[in-house]
Structure 1
Amino acid sequence: MGSSLRQSAAWLHTWSGLVVGWLLFFVFVTGTAGYFQHEITRWMRPEQPLVQPQLHAQQDLRRMTALGLARLEQVASEASSWRITLPNASAGGRSWQEFGVRWQQVPEPGHDFGASFTERLDPLTGAVRLGEPEPRATAGGYGLYRMHYVLHYMSYEWGMRIVGVCTMLMLIAIVTGVITHKKIFADFFTFRPGKGQRSWLDAHNAISVMALPFFLMITYSGLVFFLFTYMPAGRELLYGSGPAGNESFYDELFEREGHKHVAITRPTVDVAALVVQAWEHWGEGQVASLTIERHEGEPTEITIARANGGSLDIWNPPTLRFDAATGQALPAEPRVGGEAVRTQSVMLNLHEGLFAGIWGRWLYFVVGLLGCAMIGTGLVLWTVKRRKRHLAAGLEGSEPLGVRLVERLNVATIAGLPLAVAAYFWANRLLSVEMADRAAWELHALFAVWLGALFYALARPLARAWVELLWGCSLVYALVPVLNALTTNRHLGQSLLARDWVFAGFDLSMLALAAVFAVMAVKVRRRVMPIQASAQHMPQTALGKGAV
């Protein structure tokens, strides 16, 4: 490992990063896509109608409140809670809420909650919205997002634990990387193109330092989420194991009280006036929903919730509470849980970017791509260093099997995985809408193409595999908007005219990614193909001797 701290840290940094580097690249790619999972899901369900603009006028709020109450009084006269969702978009348009109602039945004896029901209503007439085309079955953006912490084709518990081990090794790699590079901040401002190994190291250092706080935050917070999954002994010692122990733990953590829900009736107060009051208090377009419920021994209350305004505390959103009989303002509800819960909320918000607006989420997305680049340059640097040693020792063509295997895995992961993600979008448009297990087959297509990329990388000369797969990525991403136009009526021109920025933004993002991969393919070809032509007896030299 080395005789000094820096030498030991360098050894640990190298091997902790290499052993799980390909899986970490997968985690970063799918996790980065998760910052736009709702937008991806909407694109993958083209049957859904265009998003309507928010309704801001006071008369709109009054009308929809009255329509919602009338519908709930008609179908849920014995419910324990009513909720009216008003049209709104959360921070940055992360998800869209349509006008609708939801009610929950009075719990049966021995149960804490009753059955719940939801209806979407027409904002002008209050009629139940029926007969709209059913969107196609799809894994959507959530399918990509979910894989970044539980993988696929394995149980939830095993996937979570494997990702946890990889995350811990990444945290070790980050910390040891800081220790290893004593001039890391000076190196951040240094880039020497055309220098082979030195260029790859410069790129790796610059990318790593550029977003170092983000990498530390995203890695540490990812471990904190599943703390008691990775280390359950402490909780089980105090609360016991099994479902009963879990329930006891969460009851104390969230300070749950034994409130019993009882049936409610339509409030006598002017509920619409209270909604308008909240609208005036928070500003235009900020009212998300209102809830009417009653606990045994307490008066019926009305709670009006604000749309996601960027708060880091997701368990305690801004609300206004009123007495349903008098309309008198009630004190704010006690905050859920103690400092531990609020700390967890902040960590979850930082990791998921739930507080961020549209530009904040784009920043998360870009930094997530930098994380992919950091892992990719680190994996390539490992092979470049070892190939240089063999060349210096006059051992051309005798590289160990391990080096050759890592080179092929690098191609299949760094160039093959993006190709597989594009295939996921292609499958969404090409698979029959009536196909059984359609959502599962979208994911099958992703992994089938990824496996095919691995076989391709093993079969082709290394330099050609890099160039051809990168050009393949560019082509398939560029054709996603074309495929969308051929299979739906939601082509880019129509989306721009309708100002449907989700569909337009998705297609434009695909074109931007196609351009990025085209630039990568051109740069790699300029560096590696001349080298291969001058050393045909050793095609494996491809990416090692060229510069960035």
Structure 2
Amino acid sequence: MSNVSTPQPAAAEAAASAPSVKPLKPVKKAAKAPGLRQTMSDLHIWTGLLVGWILYAVFLTGTLAFFRDETSLYMRPELPAAQQREAAPVVAQRLADHILASSPNASQLSISLPTERNPTASAFARSAEGGRRGFSSATYDPATAEKLDARETRGGDFFYTFHFNLHYMPALWARWLVGLCAMFMLVAIVSGVITHKKIFTDFFTFRWGKGQRAWLDAHNALSVLGLPFHFMITWSGLITLMVLYMPWGLEHLPSQADRAAVTGEMRFFLPPARPAGTPAELVAINGLVEQAEARWGAGHVGAVQIANPGDANARIAIVRQQASRVSTTPNYLLFDGVSGDLTRAKDASGPVATTQGVLYGLHLGRFADPVLRWLYFLVSLAGTAMVGTGLVLWIVKRRAKLPDPDKPYFGFWLVERLNIGAIAGLSVAVPALFWANRLLPLELAERGNWEIHCFFIAWAGALAWAFVRPAKRAWVELLWLAAALLAALPLANFLLTDRNVLISLWTGDWVFAGFELTLLAFAAAHAWLAIRTLRHQPKAKPVRKTMAKPTAPKVARAEPATAEPAGEHA
């Protein structure tokens, strides 16, 4: 009997029916909610981006407005250079006599006396029968009280009014829009501080030429450099228009007289009193100015306002100069225009009005001496650069994530073009305003408005150029154009006026000399930016080397055991 293995049907059936074991899949964890810093980062990015273009324009024009008087003098080269000032009582009496003699029907007269920053005097007069249309203004030589013939221009006042009134739109709408942007700016400042936990460490760290890292370092440094200033200038800008943004308290006052009294606590306004109809000789102005200087100090009188001159109900207000104090609250002496008796001395206001006046004064910076004014200018310029680098950083961060940088999505393309138009375009528009001031015909009607039209035409042209040119070329071309316009302005001034930079330096005319040297410095800065942009080569994306995953050897699936013929294994 041969030794033949017998089949085991029970074991075979069990092996055949056993289910195959599959590896367990890892359980996915629930997505973690973003933390405070990540939330603040998102808030910082989007609040900055949505209003960044308006904020950049507001910051830049507000920065230029710190030299408002000097800009106005530069844009009127016919005016005399700074000279030794006479005593305020003498100048005030001379101007009042001359203007009232040439305008006998004036019902109101406001005379602004010369200051250290403005060697000329100016006056606004209102005719008794002219209504609002009876207003007239002129610039005078304080030494002779004669009118000065100078070109029509808005000068530095345009930059000052644009930074809170914008242009080509109702002032009320513009102030609401700028106020909304300022509120977004406050949110961006606070969220930015929370986001950067190493913000003060990063201030001392700058990685040059590191692409996105370099832009972030620049943004951090510019932010920390003037952080208290940026917060102050934004917050105080809102406070200056607090009655507009929160009018409910004022509206609930019982009468118009009460509302006028509250407004009078914050701003000086001499309402016109009803004339008595009885002729009377006006008291001498110089004695009243001397009384004001005895109270405030010599050189602190800024303006003289006269209501109803030549009438028995005449009044004269001697107003203190803004440059002699921080607060903008009213500070004046009110006299009877016939007897010369002091009827009111406004030396202080209530605590709320004083707080608002101090914040307003800090925002304007009119009290600043030349060194402090330059510090205001430089730190505010850093704030402008902070907004600009933040806008550029948004593009730099997202460009690295584009699947095809040559074919970006529409939102990226639009933001990039708006950045070019807002930043480089404004650098073209500002010198275009100065060029219009030098080249437009002096006899052109509404010449001052046409200067402003040229500013916006140049800005719109730069924006259009950004939309039709490749991004990098648009940056380089507009920056070179801005540099050329800025650098050529001193040359144009040399050819078209008698106040060139060499003569200004020789005669000690530091307003014109300083202005043109600053133009050359900004021209060099724009040329450097153009060269850096031209030479910049974005880093290529690193190619990820993918290694072939090791594959497990294929194992033949075991067939179920079956009974085999005995003869094959014999």
Name 1:222's counterpart in structure 2. Answer: 237
Does the aligned pair in 2 maintain the 1:473–1:517 contact within 8 Å? yes
Identity %: 41
Q: Are residue 504 (structure 1) and residue 521 (structure 2) matched?
A: no
Q: Offset at 1:334?
A: 4.2
Does the aligned pair in 2 maintain the 1:254–1:341 contact within 8 Å? no
Aligned equivalent of 2:356, options 331, 344, 351: 344
CA distance in 2, matches of 1:356, 1:174: 25
Paired AA for residue 451 in structure 1: A
Does the aligned pair in 1 maintain the 2:121–2:141 contact within 8 Å? no
Q: Are residue 358 (structure 1) and residue 373 (structure 2) matched?
A: no
Q: Offset at 1:486?
A: 2.0
CA distance in 1, matches of 2:289, 2:435: 44
Structure 2 vs 1, CA of residues 304 and 413 (structure 1 numbering), >3 Å: closer, same or farther?
closer
Structure 2 vs 1, CA of residues 264 and 285 (structure 1 numbering), >3 Å: closer, same or farther?
farther
Does the aligned pair in 2 maintain the 1:474–1:513 contact within 8 Å? yes
CA distance in 2, matches of 1:162, 1:65: 41
Paired AA for residue 314 in structure 1: T
Name 2:78's counterpart in structure 1. Answer: 47
Question: 1:283-322 maps to which residues of 2 (within 5 A)?
Answer: 285-288=299-302, 306-317=320-331
Q: Offset at 1:451?
A: 1.9
Q: Offset at 1:202?
A: 0.9
Paired AA for residue 488 in structure 1: T
Q: Offset at 1:370?
A: 0.6
TM-score, length basis structure 2: 0.75
Name 2:45's counterpart in structure 1. Answer: 14
Aligned equivalent of 1:25, options 56, 63, 68: 56
Does the aligned pair in 2 maintain the 1:287–1:307 contact within 8 Å? yes
Q: Are residue 159 (structure 1) and residue 174 (structure 2) matched?
A: yes
CA distance in 1, matches of 2:316, 2:75: 37
Q: Deviations over 1:415-441 (max 9, x none)?
A: 121111111111111122222332222
Structure 2 vs 1, CA of residues 144 and 78 (structure 1 numbering), >3 Å: closer, same or farther?
closer
Q: Deviations over 1:94-145 (max 9, x none)?
A: x445398x8889999xx9x9x88888777666xx525x42x22223211222
SS of match in other structure, 2:518: helix
Q: Are residue 195 (structure 1) and residue 218 (structure 2) matched?
A: no
**Stretches of structure 2 lacking an aligned partner (at least 5 in a row):** 1-31, 542-570
Q: Offset at 1:203?
A: 0.8
Name 1:408's counterpart in structure 2. Answer: 417
Q: Deviations over 1:61-105 (max 9, x none)?
A: 56x5665676689679999888876x531xx62x445398x8889
CA distance in 1, matches of 2:526, 2:392: 17
Q: Are residue 493 (structure 1) and residue 497 (structure 2) matched?
A: no
Does the aligned pair in 2 maintain the 1:99–1:123 contact within 8 Å? no
Does the aligned pair in 1 maintain the 2:89–2:289 contact within 8 Å? yes
TM-score, length basis structure 1: 0.78
Structure 2 vs 1, CA of residues 197 and 229 (structure 1 numbering), >3 Å: closer, same or farther?
same
Q: Offset at 1:468?
A: 2.0
Paired AA for residue 198 in structure 1: R
Higher helix proportion, which one? Answer: 1
Does the aligned pair in 2 maintain the 1:178–1:184 contact within 8 Å? yes
CA distance in 2, matches of 1:402, 1:11: 17
Does the aligned pair in 2 maintain the 1:204–1:377 contact within 8 Å? yes
Q: Are residue 389 (structure 1) and residue 389 (structure 2) matched?
A: no
Name 1:98's counterpart in structure 2. Answer: 121
Paired AA for residue 88 in structure 1: P
Structure 2 vs 1, CA of residues 389 and 282 (structure 1 numbering), >3 Å: closer, same or farther?
same
Q: Are residue 254 (structure 1) and residue 264 (structure 2) matched?
A: yes
CA distance in 2, matches of 1:2, 1:365: 43
CA distance in 2, matches of 1:278, 1:413: 47
SS of match in other structure, 1:88: coil
Structure 2 vs 1, CA of residues 261 and 177 (structure 1 numbering), >3 Å: closer, same or farther?
farther
More displaced 10-residue stretch of structure 1: 330-339 or 493-502: 330-339
CA distance in 1, matches of 2:502, 2:367: 31
Does the aligned pair in 2 maintain the 1:104–1:116 contact within 8 Å? yes
Q: Offset at 1:249?
A: 1.8
Q: Offset at 1:443?
A: 1.8
Q: Offset at 1:6?
A: 1.3
SS of match in other structure, 1:333: strand
Q: Deviations over 1:248-269 (max 9, x none)?
A: 423245369998776785688x
Does the aligned pair in 1 maintain the 2:264–2:330 contact within 8 Å? no
SS of match in other structure, 2:55: helix
Name 2:533's counterpart in structure 1. Answer: 524
Aligned-pair Cα RMSD in Å: 4.0
Q: Offset at 1:194?
A: 2.2
CA distance in 1, matches of 2:94, 2:447: 37
CA distance in 2, matches of 1:523, 1:285: 49
Does the aligned pair in 1 maintain the 2:273–2:308 contact within 8 Å? no
Does the aligned pair in 1 maintain the 2:57–2:426 contact within 8 Å? yes
Q: Offset at 1:307?
A: 3.9
Aligned equivalent of 2:476, options 459, 467, 480: 467
Q: Are residue 88 (structure 1) and residue 114 (structure 2) matched?
A: yes
Aligned equivalent of 2:385, options 367, 373, 382: 373
Give the structure with higher Rg (CA): 2
